[in-house]
Amino acid sequence: MKSDIQIAQETQELPINEIAAKIDLADNDLEPYGYDKAKINWKAIQRSKENNHLGKLILVTSISPTPAGEGKSTITIGLGDAINNQLHKKTIIALREPSMGPVFGLKGGATGGGMAQIIPMEDINLHFTGDMHALTSAINTLAALVDNYLYQDNSLNLDPNRILLKRGIDVNDRSLRKVTIGEGSKFNGIEHQSSFAITVANELMAILCLANDINDLKKRIGNMLVGYTTDDQPVFVKQLGFQGAIAALLSNALKPNLVQTLEHTPALVHGGPFANIAHGANSVMATNLALHLSDYTLTEAGFGSDLGGQKFMDFVSKHLDKKPDASVVVATVRALKYQAEGSTEHLDEENLDALRNGFKNLERHMNNMRSYNVPVIVLINRFATDSENELELLKQLVEEQGIKAEIVNYHDAGSKGGIQAAQAVIDLANSEKASLKSTYEENDNVKTKIEKVAKNIYHASNVEYSDKAEEQIQELEKLNKDKLPVIIAKTQYSFTDDKKLLGAPNDFTLHVKGINLKNGAGFIVVTTGHVLDMPGLPKHPAALDIDVDDNGKISGLF
């Protein structure tokens, strides 16, 4: 089979206005970026909000990620194509924008694979419509304005050593995790410690993905906590007057981006917070727009049900115009065997015992999603090396738990690789059985929220807080911010905070290292284990395999 980028480059795209017409958008509703991509303008967004129609919302999540690969984006795209093109239902796929850090690092791109991709693949994975660059500029402009305030005025006595805002860059660069700025003479500014986070881990990314309009964007930026004064008082962006300039930098990036799949299904690709260190879903604006313009909206939450899935149900869904009608859990035979064996060495060989043992991981993810009182279906992503015995055993194990399972192969066959599965998914979404139930109550304090997620979703028996975390909780209480939703930053590879503990561990301790208020986004980030907001590059980064020829044709992206 050809590589993903070869398939994408050989596909004849439709003009973006023809894709827009499928969802009742006119040419003057678009701000085109060339032939094959466009932003949706404010007029069209406002008109959609006045439209009372709301389609069905289908959330796609997965088992715990492994080196064997799960193919969640591929399944989301293929399923959307099947509903749109095989069942002839008006469908929009809403996905996150890839970050260039992982594209050039370990993970690669995030546009699906095989015959189930969004295109233009290389544009989406690289510069796209400039949203990531706008965010990076906004992040660093805000940091520069704060440092200039320290240098020029500082009438509030902001403590340089207690500034919480980080700089940003959309690159995996471990050397920037801790930096000293303003070294040398006073002419270079006030010397103090600073740090960089990857762009998508910055609070401004979360704000962009949660804002409903420019006024909301500006308000949220103004509410960001900059740091503390020398006498321990909080300082917010609005006190310094920077919110207007930062909102101006992000005003165009706030508009959702329209592209298409290989089979010309409309896709809104917008925003990209990671699910292990942020809330892991595309923008609220894009999902709401899709709900108003389609009969079925498919969206995905990053990583497994314990990360993106939990955050979508407990946090993101409260910002949407409607709650999910159905959830899909993606699983593979290979990944479940890896959960049992912890090695990729023999995954191509039939091993029913390993599959049975690894099934515990899927079972927990299924039960997690079922706990939200939203109907669940499992889609088994077929790989060429899976035996029929393994596929049938996995289907049987799922259905013994009272959940329907379907085997699909969208990667190789496109929308025809799972027509029956697509019908089962929309039947589930139309069953009217969804009645979202949250893991915690809105008025629970921060510790109660953390412990309910840890015990009910991760299956921890205990939560342990560092001295630093305890102090930070006291700061939250002083600010009356201790009842905001929690976004737990945790390894994606395990239900625990130790990435080596695979399967479905029980009775472990979750170690909380830090508590950080993201006041503009409206949540509390709870840091556990050894999660970093600035990744590093692996020994063999994907960048080594990427090239461009004399005609500007890119190769090596995946």
Binding residues for ATP: 66-73
Peptide bond into 15 cis (omega under 30): no
CA-nearest of 547, 492, 493, 482 to 516 is 482
3-class SS of residue 142: helix
Residues making up the chain, counted from first to last: 558
Residue 97 is encoded by which pair of tokens? Answer: 């924008």
Rounded Cα gap, residues 520 and 508, in angstroms: 33
| Phi and psi, residue 258, nearest 5° | -105, 125
Q: How far is C-alpha 397 from the geometric centre of its chain's CA atoms?
A: 29
Residue 441: Cβ within 10 Å count: 10
Distances (CA, A) of 303 to 44, 201, 296, 310: 32, 15, 22, 10
Binding-site positions read 66-73
Coil vs helix vs strand at 385: coil
In one-letter notation, the amino acid at residue 415 is S
Structure tokens at 95: 């996905």
Q: Supply angle C-alpha 333, 261, 548, rounded to 5.
A: 90
CA distance 555 to 558: 9
User: What are the phi and psi torsion angles at 302 (to 5°)?
Assistant: -65, 145
